[in-house]
């Protein structure tokens, strides 16, 4: 089961109370106050873990609580700070406060830590309140209390390449052939109900991460089919691979490509700025060979890498994988630019031209 959304309760540790105490030892009259401070409560911390791809390991536990700080003691002994509660999550996790929708932060790197709730401060002992005019204070502070909050976790997978296309385009077969992923494969629509991640090796010990995004349909951006649930997973992708069914296209090769781009544009126009590759799959059983020229000439006109492949026979896969790897490396090497500048990219405003 692929779990990419989760709601949990978290509570940082309360601070320990300060201590009310006076030093009383033989031969030491008027020892004065010696109450120590309480310890700070533990924090709620999220930590990125590259070995995780879903929230599956978290879905059976709904409440997380950090340790409270120990109370202060006599002889100016401070209470021990509470232990943090560390929750490991997959990369690409967005942490929100459910009630307000406010985003607390995102986890994007392995080992990255995000403190989502600080523990309560420990209270001061009476030794802290001693002054020249009040040498025997009889009051102390209680530790700070922390309220429990409900969080909503959302996962947007981080992949170098995402395969997008209509159901039955052969995405699962393709990712099983070029990577170490082992998705379910069947000859009916919507076989893939959750994204599959795999590592593709190419060239001299080079590799990239590829994701098989469940099949989209027209109206997906409005919630039809699998809806927007999986469209979000391509937002952090570096390169898109548009896979077109060469045997049984929905409308036509170019028409299918444009339909998917329209859904992406409706969902988030910024995604259209990403580099992409077009591949027509199942060339061993093409239904409309005469329609290839139309999409091929469009790709050449707009300087878009175009491939004819067969995920079953392996035809064209090696050159396509090499091109994808080169594009990933190219995108990784581009430094962030100012908003007024624009990275040179193949045309993406083709929807108005076709």
Cα–Cα separations (whole angstroms), residue 279 to 57, 190, 275, 318: 36, 20, 14, 13
Q: What pLDDT is recorded for position 147?
A: 95
Whether 13 and 69 share a structural domain:
yes
Q: What pLDDT is recorded for position 35?
A: 94
Q: What pLDDT is recorded for position 351?
A: 42
> What tens digit of pLDDT does each residue of 208-248 get?
888 887 756 554 444 444 445 567 778 878 899 999 988 88
> What tens digit of pLDDT does each residue of 306-335 get?
999 999 899 999 999 999 999 999 988 875
Q: What pLDDT is recorded for position 81?
A: 97
CATH code: domain of residue 268: 3.40.50.300
Q: What pLDDT is recorded for position 217?
A: 53
How far is 111 from 281, CA to CA, in rounded Å? 38
Whether 103 and 197 share a structural domain:
no
Tell me what the pLDDT averaged over the chain comes to: 84
Cα–Cα separations (whole angstroms), residue 300 to 191, 261, 303, 329: 33, 18, 5, 22
DSSP string, 299-338: HHHTT--EEE--TTT-TTHHHHHHHHHHHHHHHHHPPP--
Whether 313 and 169 share a structural domain:
yes
Where does the pLDDT of residue 346 fall: very low under 50, low under 70, confident under 90, or very high at 90 and above?
A: very low
State which residues form the domain around 66: 1-155
Residues 178 and 321: beta-carbon distance below 8 Å: yes
Q: What pLDDT is recorded for position 343?
A: 36
How far is 157 from 161, CA to CA, in rounded Å? 11
> What tens digit of pLDDT does each residue of 15-52 get?
999 999 998 888 877 788 999 999 999 999 999 998 88
Whether 258 and 327 share a structural domain:
yes
Spell out a b/e string for 112-140, using b for 16 or more CB atoms within 10 Å of the CB, else e. Answer: bebebbbbbbbbbbbbbbeeeeeeebeeb
Whether 56 and 120 share a structural domain:
yes
Residue 236: name the closest of 171, 157, 164 by CA: 157
Q: What pLDDT is recorded for position 224?
A: 45
Q: What pLDDT is recorded for position 263?
A: 84
Q: Six-digit token pair at 137?
A: 């204070």
Out of 94, 122, 155, a domain closes at: 155
Determine the average pLDDT of the residues in 136-159: 91
149-158, 200-209, 244-253, 341-350: segment of lowest average pLDDT = 341-350
Whether 181 and 135 share a structural domain:
no
Out of 103, 122, 155, a domain closes at: 155
How far is 276 from 17, CA to CA, in rounded Å? 59
Out of 122, 139, 155, a domain closes at: 155
How far is 278 from 282, CA to CA, in rounded Å? 13
* Rounded percentage of the chain residues whose pLDDT exceeds 90: 48
Where does the pLDDT of residue 181 fall: very low under 50, low under 70, confident under 90, or very high at 90 and above?
A: low
Whether 89 and 188 share a structural domain:
no
Whether 145 and 237 share a structural domain:
no
Determine the average pLDDT of the residues in 182-203: 65
Determine the average pLDDT of the residues in 296-301: 92
CATH code: domain of residue 3: 2.70.210.12
Our count of domains for the chain comes to 2
Whether 201 and 332 share a structural domain:
yes
Residue 177 has pLDDT above 70, yes or no: yes
40-49, 64-73, 303-312, 341-350: segment of lowest average pLDDT = 341-350
Whether 69 and 206 share a structural domain:
no
Where does the pLDDT of residue 349 fall: very low under 50, low under 70, confident under 90, or very high at 90 and above?
A: very low
């Amino acid at each position: 089961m692929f779990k990419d959304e989760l709601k949990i309760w978290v509570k940082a540790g309360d601070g320990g109370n300060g201590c009310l105490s006076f030093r009383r030892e033989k031969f030491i009259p008027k020892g004065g106050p010696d109450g120590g401070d309480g310890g700070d409560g533990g924090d709620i911390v999220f930590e990125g873990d590259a070995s995780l791809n879903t929230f599956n390991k978290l879905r059976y536990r709904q409440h997380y609580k950090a340790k409270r700080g120990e109370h202060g003691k006599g002889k100016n002994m401070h209470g021990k700070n509470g232990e943090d509660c560390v929750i490991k999550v997959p990369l690409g996790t967005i942490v929100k406060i459910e009630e307000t929708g406010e985003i607390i932060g995102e986890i994007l790197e392995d080992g990255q830590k995000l403190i989502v709730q600080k523990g309560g401060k420990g209270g001061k002992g009476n030794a802290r309140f001693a002054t020249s005019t009040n040498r025997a204070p009889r009051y102390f502070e209680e530790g700070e209390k922390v309220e429990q909050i409900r969080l909503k976790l959302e996962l947007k997978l981080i992949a170098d390449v995402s395969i997008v296309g209509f159901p039955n385009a052969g995405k699962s077969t393709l990712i099983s052939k070029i990577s170490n992923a082992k998705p379910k494969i069947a000859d009916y629509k919507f076989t893939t109900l959750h994204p599959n991640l795999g590592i593709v090796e190419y060239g001299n010990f080079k590799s990239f991460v590829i994701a098989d995004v469940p099949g989209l349909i027209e109206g997906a951006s409005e919630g039809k089919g699998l809806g927007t649930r999986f469209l979000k997973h391509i937002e952090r992708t570096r390169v898109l691979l548009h896979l077109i069914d060469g045997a049984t296209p929905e409308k036509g090769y170019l028409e299918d490509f444009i339909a998917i781009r329209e859904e992406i544009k409706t969902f988030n126009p910024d995604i259209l700025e990403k580099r992409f590759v077009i591949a027509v799959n199942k060339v061993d059983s093409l239904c409309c060979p005469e329609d290839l020229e139309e999409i091929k000439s469009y790709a050449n006109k707009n300087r878009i890498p175009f491939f004819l492949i067969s995920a079953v026979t392996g035809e064209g896969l090696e050159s396509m994988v090499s091109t994808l790897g080169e594009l990933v490396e190219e995108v990784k090497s581009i430094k962030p630019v100012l908003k007024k500048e624009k990275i040179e990219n193949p045309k993406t405003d083709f929807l108005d031209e076709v």
